[in-house]
Amino acid sequence: MDGGQTTNICIEPEWSFLPKQMETLDSVKKHKFTLYSGAVGAGKTLLLAHAAIEACINNPGCKGMLGSLTYTQLTNVVFTVFKEEVYKYEKLLKKHGYDIKLLKRCVESTGKMIVEFFNGSIIYFLACDNETKLRGYTLDFFGLDEPIEIDETIFTQLMARMRGKNLEQTGRKPFGILTTNPGAETHWIYQRFFINATPEYNAIQTTTYDNVFLPDGYIQAMEEAYDEDWILRMLNGKWGAYAGQIYKSFNPDKHVGDWKGHNKILYYIAGVDWGVRNPSCILTIGVTKEKEAIVVEEYYQANRTSKEVTDRLNQLNKKFEYRKIFIDPSALDLITQCEQAHLPAEKGDNHVEPGIGKVKSMFTKNMIYIDRSCQNLIKELQAYRYEKDKLNKNPEEKPVKKDDHAPDALRYGLFTHRAWGKGGIFGVVKRSLWEI
């Protein structure tokens, strides 16, 4: 750029992109939303950076946003990779006689990262832990790194921010690009890009095995270090192969159906998980003569007081005449209010590992069935997983405290009720000790 005159420079890069990466860079020019779903070593963050750099350089005044869940991830991964790739372009230009600084301004301070290109294009780097932080922006594009960790409200807020007009100068429209590892098929990304996809959405899937640039022995080392679930998800890029999934025997095709009012049910119990800001969940569970458990109805609401949950239990009790209501033992106020309302409530058994073992066993034996209306339970059973250590093993088999409200309610009901969890002398003694 000299004296207000702009010169178009066309130089062939000295680096190569993988075929699926090239397909993705082309897709963002044609589709409103593009998903690059890849395993480890698929060059996801690098691809995100190049899509943003290309849009900004070729469209003066363009405004974009790149984000990941936390500020730490943003700083250590996204922003670092972005700067490295910008410097590659500058080095290439200089090699061909163009000593151009692509970044006119680069702000990097605690809680604030912004870059401005020589032509007025701007990229904001934002943590995506709260959708309110994204309000007020007008964007031509956005990119999310590892959105598998990000709430859907972030995506919907960014959709509302896509009001920029600067891409129109090259015949393009605002776009969003998501680069991520795969997850459960119940995740909002899979639902949007695979199950309910429209022509605006385009999904491109790749595997670690597609990356011909990886060093020798890299894939073999990964295969030897990690478990089968991790390999399916993180090397093969399979959605639904959820690493550490707790209830692997739960099969929606087998265990979900139309079960309300089934004539096999003898009586009903309830399992209750209570939260203040988190959702409270009430599961109504029918018990059959064969000791099968049939979940016929769920109540799932956030920001409900113990009084509101008690009132709801009262209403449900009039309908189902519960034999017992098993409540999260930490919800003492809820238990007290239920007792005062003369509901058949008691503390649920919160021994997590044996409780999960009981539920696993019942799914394996096809003794649990769920009405299709219980959407939160169905979703969370598939997403519920164990924590991982650095080698992706499970030495303590401790569940992640996320997507667990409905599974916890199910566990309180099934593991505490005598029909399944309290048979024999051991169960009686254990329960007595727990109540003390």
Task: Name the domain count of the chain.
Answer: 2
Report the pLDDT value the prediction gives residue 2, as an integer from 0 to 100: 44
Q: Which pair of structure tokens corresponds to residue 112?
A: 């604030």
The H helix count followed by the E strand count for the chain is 15, 15
The answer to whether residues 156 and 176 touch, using CB atoms and an 8 Å cutoff, is no
Burial string for 134-154 (b: 16+ CB within 10 Å, else e) reads beebebbbbbbbbbbbbeeeb
How many other CB atoms are found less than 10 A from the CB of residue 392?
A: 16
pLDDT more than 70, % of the chain: 89
pLDDT tens digits, residue range 382-392? 888 877 654 44
User: Same structural domain for residues 301 and 205?
Assistant: no
Strand order in the sheet with 293-301: 256-257, 368-371, 293-301, 280-288, 265-273, 324-327, 345-347
Query: Nearest 10 degrees: CA dihedral of 177, 183, 189, 194?
Result: 100
Domain boundary among 234, 268, 298: 234
Report the pLDDT value the prediction gives residue 432, as an integer from 0 to 100: 38
| 191 burial level (CB within 10 Å; 0-12, 13-18, 19+) | middle
Coil, helix or strand at residue 325 = strand
Coil, helix or strand at residue 85 = helix
Residue 240 domain-assigned (yes or no): no
User: Same structural domain for residues 369 and 419?
Assistant: yes
User: Same structural domain for residues 191 and 263?
Assistant: no
381-384 contact pairs (CB < 8 A, 24+): 381/247, 381/250, 381/406, 381/407, 381/410, 382/184, 382/185, 382/186, 382/242, 382/245, 382/247, 382/250, 382/252, 383/183, 383/184, 383/186, 383/187, 383/242, 383/245, 384/245, 384/246, 384/247
pLDDT tens digits, residue range 333-342? 999 999 999 9
| Cβ-Cβ contacts under 8 Å for 110 (sequence gap 6 or more) | none
CATH number at residue 283: 3.30.420.280
Report the pLDDT value the prediction gives residue 227, as an integer from 0 to 100: 61
> HSE of 171 in the Cβ direction (CA atoms, 13 Å)?
1
| Cβ-Cβ contacts under 8 Å for 226 (sequence gap 6 or more) | 234, 391, 392
Strand intervals (E) in 160-301: 175-180, 201-205, 256-257, 265-273, 280-288, 293-301
Residue 11 domain-assigned (yes or no): no
Q: Which pair of structure tokens corresponds to residue 309?
A: 């949950």
Report the pLDDT value the prediction gives residue 95, as an integer from 0 to 100: 86
Residue 241 domain-assigned (yes or no): no
> CA-CA distance, 417 to 323, in Å (whole number)?
10
Helices (H), 235-342: 252-255, 306-320, 332-340
pLDDT tens digits, residue range 131-140? 998 999 999 9
Q: Which domain holds residue 399?
A: 252-435
User: Same structural domain for residues 118 and 53?
Assistant: yes
| In the predicted structure, residue 54 carries a pLDDT above the cut 50 | yes
User: Same structural domain for residues 174 and 122?
Assistant: yes
Phi, psi of 27 (to 5 degrees): -65, -35
What pLDDT band is residue 431 in, cutting at 50, 70 and 90? very low
Report the pLDDT value the prediction gives residue 308, as an integer from 0 to 100: 95
Coil, helix or strand at residue 75 = helix
88 or 271, which is more confident? 271
Taking the model in full, what pTM does it have?
Answer: 0.64
Lowest mean pLDDT among 32-46, 235-249, 297-311, 359-373: 235-249
User: Same structural domain for residues 216 and 157?
Assistant: yes
Report the pLDDT value the prediction gives residue 243, as an integer from 0 to 100: 60
Residue 243 domain-assigned (yes or no): no
- Candidates 206, 149, 165; CA nearest to 34 is 206
Residue 208 domain-assigned (yes or no): yes
Average pLDDT over residues 202-207: 93
> CA-CA distance, 21 to 352, in Å (whole number)?
43
The answer to whether residues 291 and 420 touch, using CB atoms and an 8 Å cutoff, is yes
> CA-CA distance, 385 to 101, in Å (whole number)?
47
For the chain, what is the mean pLDDT?
Answer: 86
Residue 1 domain-assigned (yes or no): no
> CA-CA distance, 268 to 116, in Å (whole number)?
63
Residue 244 domain-assigned (yes or no): no
pLDDT tens digits, residue range 395-421? 455 777 777 899 999 999 999 998 886
Average pLDDT over residues 70-87: 92
> CA-CA distance, 64 to 78, in Å (whole number)?
14
User: Same structural domain for residues 363 and 299?
Assistant: yes
Q: Which residue do the tokens 């990229």 mark?
A: 123
> CA-CA distance, 20 to 38, in Å (whole number)?
10
User: Same structural domain for residues 166 and 71?
Assistant: yes
- Candidates 182, 420, 186, 189; CA nearest to 293 is 420
DSSP annotation of 102 reads: S
Residue 6 domain-assigned (yes or no): no
What pLDDT band is residue 185 in, cutting at 50, 70 and 90? confident
Q: Which residue do the tokens 């912004």 mark?
A: 114
